Structures are given as structure tokens and as C-alpha cells.
Amino acid sequence: MDTNEHEHVIEVTDLRRVYGGGFEAVRGISFSVARGEIFALLGTNGAGKTSTVELLEGLASPSGGRVRVLGHDPFRERAAVRPRTGVMLQEGGFPSELTVGETTRMWAGCTGGARPEAEALALVGLAGKAGVRVKQLSGGERRRLDLALALLGEPEVLFLDEPTTGLDAEGRRDTWELVRALRDSGTTVLLTTHYLEEAEGLADRLAILHEGRIAASGTPAEVTADRPSRISFELPAGYFPGDLPPLAELGVCGHEVAGRTVRLHTRELQRAATGLLVWAGRAGVELRGLDVRSASLEEAFLSIAREQRPTAGAAA
Ligand SMILES: Nc1ncnc2c1ncn2[C@@H]1O[C@H](COP(=O)(O)OP(=O)(O)OP(=O)(O)O)[C@@H](O)[C@H]1O
């Protein structure tokens, strides 16, 4: 029964995945994705993104916890779920001797209720490539072919594992537009990505995985809200960190010094930047490489990785 599909198309509860050697790659994660939402899974290398997505795609059975996609167990009830989902794996792996058109036709033959092949190719900007062999495509074009094949069945739920890896800036933007358009027409999208600006600009909600657990989740604004902003600059020769005004008085909550480069963390960006610039102006000091950044997903991501590493080097 599709009891919850109008609320949560994907439901993950205390999900665990332990590999053969006993390594626990996914350590009890829970999240849900509503219909028509774009949800991004972020994380450092080896955080467990692919291990999680494979469970959602029904490619493996969880070691613990529960997954529901469109109200079904994607592994045990694969026949009910698979025709309604589109999957773009990290590695497509098509026969490279086939042409783009042949590959698309072959895939369409395996996909019930397929959208016209030409339409799928046009959606990803490969309309003119039907006669080209897969082995002759560029890396970015292969990625777009992967996406076209995932779209063939007009899926209600789309799983995209690093969809824009290998794409140039324009290709990435085109893919974002397409994913947004699919979302706007009601498709639910779960994607993994290493590009933080991709998640920040595209995702309605996201989760940052770290060592198999969810370290932060929410809308991009929620995830960045309580993270500090950053000011970095180079101290000129003859000046030392101790010459700066008292950092606590500037509203600085942490700092790092590496060689001549100083990095300040603050939740009061205007106060800290003003205090620093007033000091520099009075002292006649040029702060080379001055860089002032509001809290961003990148900062959130980096501070999660730093906070949870036992040898974090940040000084308060
Ligand atoms: N078949 C396997 N057997 C044992 N360990 C595995 C297996 N597959 C993955 N792992 C381990 O599980 C952890 C999570 O891997 P996973 O591929 O899910 O991470 P990821 O977040 O997708 O990483 P990346 O960003 O590098 O793609 C890694 O430490 C990896 O080495």
C-alpha cells in the first residue's frame, strides 16, 4: 500500500549497513523526503553516501533499520518500486561500441512506460548525438547519457549519484535547471554531490553525512544558520597575531594562524570586520588577501569535518 506517499516518498529510519568484513558504513541514519522535494546527501569521501543510496535503490538489503520508497521496501518489493524510480549510478558502464541511439533504445526496451528516446536525449542536450558511439562521448556527455537513461521511465523518484561530476560549468548549470524543472513537475529527487554550491543552490533540504552518521540536516539556510562566518588575511612582515586588537572584543569565537595567514571565525561578521579594518587603518597596515565570507554550506561542511576529527587544529 502507498499509504504515506503523499507525505514522504522516501522514509529512512535508523538505517544501518555493515559490509562483509564487519565495517559499519552506515550507522543508524534517519531522514525523509517529501514528494516534489530535492534532497541532497553530502559528506566527506567514504562518509556512506553511496552505501545509503544503494539501499534506497533496492540494490542491497539493510543490515538494520528500515527504508521505504513510495511506501514499499525497495529491496523486497523491487517489482513495485523499480518501475517508478530512475537511477543514475556513479558509473554508467554501457557497452561502449553501441551508439547513443542504440543504448537509449536498448534501455527503453527494459523500461516500462518509457518517454520517447529522442525526448530524453533532448532533455539532457544530446539530441544531436544519437549516431555517436558511447566510447566517443566526452566524460561529461557520458554523464548526461546516464541522466537521459534515468529519465526514460518518467520516474516519480529520481536517484542521482554525483550527477554533475565531470561536467563543465555550463553542463552543470544545465543539469541543475533540468533537475529543478523535474522537481517543479512533481518528481522527487535524491542526489549525492561533492559540490557544496550545487547542494546550496539546488536542494530544498540536505543532510551532511560524516562517518556513517548524519552530522547536520535541514534546509541549506538552517544548516548554515548557526555556523560562524570567516575573515582571513595575511599579516604584513613585522606584525604578529598578538598585535591585533583583542579578538574577543571583536566578537571572534575562534582563530587559526598558519605562517602569516590569519583566519578568524565569528558570528558577528560586521562587528569583527569593522573592528579589524579600523585597527588596520589606524596602524597603517595593509591586510593582503583580505577575504570576508558569510557562513556558507562550505563552512558548515568544513567545520563538521574539523569538529569531529580528534586532531582538530582550531584554537579558540
Ligand atoms: N563492499 C564493501 N566492503 C567493505 N567496505 C566497503 C564496501 N563498499 C564501501 N565500503 C566502505 O564503506 C565506506 C563508505 O563508502 P561509500 O562508498 O558509501 O562512501 P561515499 O560517501 O559514497 O564516498 P565517496 O564520496 O568517496 O564516493 C567507505 O569507508 C568504504 O571503504
ipTM for the assembly:
0.97
| Domain CATH number, residue 191 | 3.40.50.300
Is 81 contained in some domain? yes
**Do 42 and 174 fall within a single domain?**
yes
The atom number, within ligand 1, closest to the CA of 53 reads 18
28: DSSP letter: E
Q: How many CB atoms lie within 10 A of CB 7?
A: 10
Give the strands of the sheet with 252-258, arranged side by side.
Answer: 252-258, 261-266, 229-234, 288-293
Beta bridge mates, 229? 266
The mean of the pLDDT values for the chain is: 89
Please choose from 51, 165, 301 the residue to mutate so as to test ligand 1's pocket, defined by most ligand atoms within 8 A of CB.
51
Look at residue 4 and tell me whether its pLDDT is greater than 50.
no
| Burial class of 209 by CB neighbour count within 10 A (0 to 12, 13 to 18, 19+) | buried
167/61 same-domain check: yes
pLDDT in tens, 132-154: 999 999 888 888 999 999 999 99
- Residue 244, domain CATH: 3.30.70.980
Residues near 22 by beta carbon (within 8 Å), at least 6 away in sequence: none
> Which amino acid, one-letter code, is at 100?
V
Q: Look up the domain containing 254 and give its range.
A: 226-307
**In this predicted model, what pLDDT tens digit does every residue of 244-292 receive, in sequence order?**
999 999 999 999 999 999 999 999 999 999 999 999 999 999 999 999 9
In a domain, 313, yes or no: no
Q: Identify whether 2 is part of a domain.
A: no
**CB neighbour burial string for 169-188, b if at least 16 within 10 angstroms, e if fewer:** eebbebbbebbeebbeeebb
- 61 and 157 fall within a common domain: yes
Q: Is the pLDDT of residue 177 over 80?
A: yes
β-pair type (229-234, 288-293): antiparallel
Same domain, 208 and 239: no
Residue 202 and residue 251 in one domain: no
Could you tell me if the CB of 45 is within 6 A of ligand 1?
A: yes
The residue behind cell 574577543 is 248
* All three cell numbers of 217: 540536516
Any domain includes 269: yes
Nearest CA to ligand 1 atom 27: 45
Q: Are residues 202 and 241 in the same domain?
A: no
Residue 29 domain-assigned? yes
163 in the same domain as 123: yes
> Is there a domain that residue 240 lies in?
yes
Q: Is residue 3 part of a domain?
A: no
What residue's CA is closest to ligand 1, atom 23? 46
| Judgement on whether residues 252 and 203 belong to the same structural domain of the protein | no
CA distance 44 to 146: 24
Residue 312 lies in a domain: no
Domain shared by 271 and 201, yes or no: no
User: Where does a domain end: 167, 200, 223?
Assistant: 223
State in Å: Cα 127 to ligand 1 middle. Answer: 35
Statement to judge: residues 59 and 154 lie in one domain? yes
pLDDT in tens, 37-64: 999 999 988 999 999 999 999 999 999 9
pLDDT given at position 6: 52
Question: 243 alpha carbon to ligand 1 midpoint, in Å?
Answer: 46
Task: Determine whether the shortest distance from the Cβ of 26 to ligand 1 is under 6 A.
Answer: no
Domain count, the chain: 2
Same domain, 262 and 186: no
Mean pLDDT on 190-213: 93
Per DSSP (E only), the strands in 162-295 are 188-192, 205-210, 213-218, 229-234, 252-258, 261-266, 288-293
Query: In 123-240, where do the E strands start and end?
Result: 157-161, 188-192, 205-210, 213-218, 229-234
**91 & 235 share domain:** no
